[in-house]
Structure 1
Amino acid sequence: MKGKECRKVHSCMERIRKWAQSLTQRQKLIILRVVMATAAALIVFGAARMFWLQKQYADADREYAKVRELAGVTDPSGDNNLESVGTVSSSSSGSAAALLPGELPTVALDKLQKENPDTVGWLYAPALGINYPIMQDTDNTYYIKHTFSGGRNDSGSIFLDAEAAADFSDKNTYIFGHNMRNGSMFGSLKKVRETGLVSENPYFWIYREDGWHMYQIFSYHNANADRKDMAFQTSFENDQAYQQFLTYLQEQSEEDLHVALDVNDKIVSLSTCTGDSAVRLVVHGKLVDV
């Protein structure tokens, strides 16, 4: 701190000291009571806020447990059938091998759509701990604060971009979800940054009306939240533009995952918020149906 600034601070502190000395005992007592009352109010507010958040988490967890049971991916004992089949196995060469569609349970998508017609699929990312229905509304605001049942909850839902084709036929399809503090929704998406996790478990699955579809993660990185970032592009003038886009995503990746891409590939991008309101974490996977 420079000398001039030090003198200013010292002068300010001296004025405060003199002001404090000029107070009567009664005035000091009043100020103390105000400070204590303010501190108590902040403690009560913080406790109430924490209780409310925990209730939101618990309510959402209970609801999605019931949704999994309805979908047939959780048995009555509460064990997750998807989790019970494992994540990936190792091939003889030691590289990661994906589960085949036949090894995954059928999702009762018709039952989910009967409860909520906005259901377009199911997202299962075992390595990331993600296992939720995918919703889609006419805009991207509703499912930010509403769960599968339509109840208002800060956990919201995992939802498809409102402008995306519900059959995932676009070149780049975006799926959004909250970065919840308890790790629910897309709160565990940041696990991609754990050393070796993606290289050992590079797949996620999406169930649609025609069955399971497998995607291989080829890039993950931060992007600007205003959606002007090239990573959020979903339509392309021609194959050359799309190839440039794919190259850009690989260049942005925080890890070189050595995945070959070409203009015939369709990708799904998973996006969530971060601690910075201007930044999003995005994970991209290419369709590799078997």
Structure 2
Amino acid sequence: MERLLLLLVLGLAGASPLEDSKLCPPHSRPWQVFLHDRWTRCSGALVDKWWLVTSAACAPTSPGAMASLGEHDVTVDEGSEQHVAVAEVIRHSPYRSPLHSLAMVRLAQPARLTRHVQPIGLPGRCPGPGESCTVSGWGATLPNQNESPKHLKCLTVSVVDDQTCVKSFPDYLFWSLGMVCAGGTRTAGCLNDKSAVLECGGQLQGVQWFSLGCQNAAHPSVYTKLCKYNEWMRRVMDSHTPTTTSARPITSERP
């Protein structure tokens, strides 16, 4: 009987989602933020106690938008979370084009920095082809599948050179210098999160633009090349950080 119980316990442990090789170790990405409102659920990256970076597609539009920091399993209360209202959204213009996909999100209250909530550094360089990076977010990791957000997922991906990336583009996409690609034939590249976070060497290097790897596993996914936007991001933070903690209404677009 004891042997049977032991086998049962081991079997249940093996079936646990915590054994999923694509799950991040809990709270190993303290900069990852879960953005959610009436219309969307996706990711952002904390870069300052007031500010998140995300993609244009993930930028909140609802007055009730929230940023949940310190999350791993978004379906339960883990005791590490901070749920903060979104106060302001500043999109890079023109965002309705193939040129840019980037938004800065200001919190209504500054994040309280803990071991579970920490900002990630803006890029000090651009990523190079072949460089190993990590992409993290909430969503499906299998092509052509949907999955409700639950545990934070992590994938190791390699940066792909621009020429290889362009060759994988469908007809409706256009290349721009604000793009970087990672994943494809050499590494698993599917993480179906509208703004999955690309981290290379401890620096924020991208937010997901097009999850091409979730349509065809042989194709790399496309990220906003954040090293090209350092000046813009710093200018937004310098000019829009409040001197008080009072919330301001969401704005849909700013130059």
Structure 1 length-normalised TM: 0.26
Greater share of residues in strand = 2
Structure 2 length-normalised TM: 0.29
Structure 1 or 2, whichever has the larger Rg, is 1
Greater share of residues in helix = 1
- The higher-RCO structure (CA 8 Å, 6+ apart) is 2
